[in-house]
Amino acid sequence: MSFRYWRTVPVNNPALRTARYIALACGLIYGVKRNRELTAYEAVYQEDQTRIKMALKKINKDIAWLKYYDEMNELAYDLGVPNRVVQADRAKDPQFAPEED
């Protein structure tokens, strides 16, 4: 629509203009406040997620050891050797034999 359909130009009411600026300011204040709340929540959430990931890594490591334990003992049984892999063989830091050239 263009202005030619109106006999007079619409008046921009000062009260309406003031209300719009107040609404804009309130929106900005709310946005800053909400951003701070979400940032604080996200920091706590990330700490929880890190703790959960570490626990899952430990569980996955234990599961991997149990799979290895079962596989090696099945292989030993197939070869006719008594079970050789026991829980005591599990080391926190695996020790590998040095390679010989």
Share of the chain above pLDDT 70, in %: 72
Model confidence at 96, in pLDDT bands (50, 70, 90)? Answer: low
CA pair distance 41, 24, nearest whole angstrom: 26
Residue range 14-71, pLDDT digits in tens: 899 999 999 999 999 999 999 999 999 999 999 999 999 999 998 888 888 888 888 8
pLDDT in tens, 64-84: 888 888 888 888 888 888 767
Phi-psi map region of 80: left, alpha, beta (phi>0 left; psi -120 to 50 alpha)? left
pTM: 0.50
Tokens of 73: 């003992």
